[in-house]
Amino acid sequence: MANKIIKYNLTATGTIPTYIADGGYYAKANGGASPQDWDLIGATTDGSSETGLGELANKAAVKSYLDTYTSDWKERNDAGEEVKLDAPKGYELPPLGFDVEDQGYQAPSDDGSHINIVVDSKSERLQLLKSFSKWKIEDFNDLKLLIKTKGKCTTDHISMAGPWLRFRGHLDNISNNLLLGATNAFNDKVNLVKNQITGEYDETPKVARYYKNNKIFSVIIGDENYGEGSSREHAAMEPRYMGVCAVIVKSFARIHETNLKKQGVLALTFVNPLDYNKIEEDDVFNILGLDSFRPGGLLELEVQHSNGSFDSIKLKHTFNSNQINWFKAGSALNLISKDV
């Protein structure tokens, strides 16, 4: 015989009857003076024929009982005693303070001019970070298309984590993962873009490095919420290192947009998001209006198509005055280092 759910009372000594395997739940006081007078519910032991105060034969019966006695539910232990846990409490801070012999802080030298940081030139993990070049504040001309991304492009699509994280201290090496996960809008393939100089298709970071080595600047075209996900700085540092002047999208994830600005990359959005559809695979770009680059102003993207036709596309941005100074200096770090 299977276990039954029944109503029952405690024994005369205030304990749960032996025919109850799991009980002490949802007591109804019934006005009684002692726990022995209370109605409880529980599951009988295997094979027991006891019905106590009556069997609750199905879910509806159990629900009806619980709905009836909600206000008087009490959780009880095997002795029929009410169980109530104290609210958790503890110290916000150790009352005797922290016992720390080593504070973990080493004050910098008053004069750091004599300090020479040495990194093994053969290291794959570490590389001294060099300042990015200062931009000439003039229109950008003859920019090549690195990739037009389609759909979701998170910071992990731009700069993958996993085994690549061992190269976080080596910008040149970690840049070999640039946009590995991004989908090319022209062929729906991942990590396969056209080199506009050779006409051949290759892995995205290899095409980016080809442009970098040949001093060819490029742009990235993106879809909605470009750069969503984690706030990893390398997703902005790598494009800048590889010679990307501008990232032009339908919309940005806010943190990635700011990170691009800090690295001296033009983070721009289409005034009309439908202009994204005008970008073709062999397009060459000019970004005009940088001589009057100002907060709230617009820039112009001049697009030269392979058939000789042109499109003029309006671009907006969210740069404030300080961020424009980052761009002019080549990066926020460049600007800060001038003031140190």
Calculate the average pLDDT of the chain: 88
Mean pLDDT along residues 94-106? 81
The band of 340, judged by pLDDT with boundaries at 50, 70 and 90, is very low
Half-sphere exposure of 54 (CA within 13 A, CB side): 6
Between 251 and 8, name the one with better pLDDT: 251
pTM of the model: 0.69
Counting residues of the chain whose pLDDT is more than 70, the rounded percentage is 89
Q: Is the pLDDT of residue 160 over 70?
A: yes
Q: Which of 46-55, 102-111, 136-145, 256-265 has the highest mean pLDDT?
A: 256-265
Q: CB count, 10 Å around CB of 106? A: 7
Q: Is the pLDDT of residue 65 over 70?
A: no
Residues 144 and 54 in one domain: no
Return all residues near 322 (Cβ < 8 A) that are at least 6 apart: none
Between 182 and 4, name the one with better pLDDT: 182
What percent of the residues of the chain are helix, what percent strand, and what percent coil, each to the nearest 5? 25, 25, 50
Between 238 and 117, name the one with better pLDDT: 238
- The pairs formed by 318-327 with CB atoms below 8 angstroms and a separation of 24 or more are 318/257, 318/267, 319/261, 319/267, 319/293, 319/295, 320/295, 321/295, 323/258, 323/261, 324/293, 324/294, 324/295, 326/261, 326/262, 326/264, 327/135, 327/261, 327/264, 327/266, 327/293
Return all residues near 117 (Cβ < 8 A) that are at least 6 apart: 128
Mean pLDDT along residues 284-300? 96
Residues 148 and 60 in one domain: no
Residues 158 and 57 in one domain: no
Strands (DSSP E) along the chain, which ranges?
5-8, 20-28, 39-44, 54-55, 140-148, 193-194, 201-202, 218-222, 244-249, 266-270, 284-288, 299-304, 310-316
Residue 26 lies in a domain: yes
Between 221 and 113, name the one with better pLDDT: 221
pLDDT at 137: 77
305-314 pLDDT, tens digit each: 999 999 999 9
Return all residues near 252 (Cβ < 8 A) that are at least 6 apart: 225, 226, 227, 267, 269
Asked which of 57, 72, 87 is the last residue of a domain, the reply is 72
pLDDT at 298: 97
Residue 28 lies in a domain: yes
pLDDT at 58: 75
Counting residues of the chain whose pLDDT is more than 90, the rounded percentage is 61
Least confident of 51-55, 86-90, 120-124, 218-222: 51-55
Q: Is the pLDDT of residue 76 over 70?
A: no
Region class of 222: left (phi > 0), else alpha (psi between -120 and 50), else beta = beta
Residue 58 lies in a domain: yes
Between 26 and 245, name the one with better pLDDT: 245
Q: Is the pLDDT of residue 324 over 70?
A: yes
The span from the CA of 188 to the CA of 106, in Å, is 51
Q: Residue 27: phi, psi to the nearest 5? A: -80, 140
Domain with 296, as residue range(s), is 140-339
The amino acid present at 218, given as its one-letter code, is: S
Residue 16 lies in a domain: yes
The band of 22, judged by pLDDT with boundaries at 50, 70 and 90, is confident
We report the CATH number of the domain holding residue 203 as 3.20.19.10
Between 87 and 149, name the one with better pLDDT: 149
Q: Domains in the chain: how many in total? A: 2
127-159 pLDDT, tens digit each: 999 999 998 878 999 999 999 999 999 999 999
Residue 80 lies in a domain: no
Q: Is the pLDDT of residue 109 over 50?
A: yes
Residue 259 lies in a domain: yes
Residue 46 lies in a domain: yes
Q: 1 is written with which tokens?
A: 């015989």
Asked which of 72, 95, 118 is the last residue of a domain, the reply is 72
Residues 157 and 57 in one domain: no
